[in-house]
Amino acid sequence: MSELPESLRARMREQNAEPAIDVVRNFLGFKVADAEDLDEIRADLRQTAQASTRKLRRELAAFEAVLADPPAAPGALARMVAWEGNWVLEDSSDAGAARFLAQLAQMLREVLDEAG
Flag whether pLDDT at 15 surpasses 60.
Answer: no
Q: Residue 92, SS3?
A: coil
Measured distance CA(31)–CA(47) in Å, rounded = 12
pLDDT at 3: 79
Contact 11, 54 (CB under 8 A): no
pLDDT in tens, 22-35: 999 999 999 999 99
pLDDT in tens, 40-72: 999 999 999 999 999 999 999 999 999 999 999
- Band the pLDDT of 5: cuts 50, 70, 90: low
pLDDT at 103: 98
**Full-model pTM:** 0.86
Contact 85, 65 (CB under 8 A): no
Q: What mean pLDDT do residues 93-99 have?
A: 98
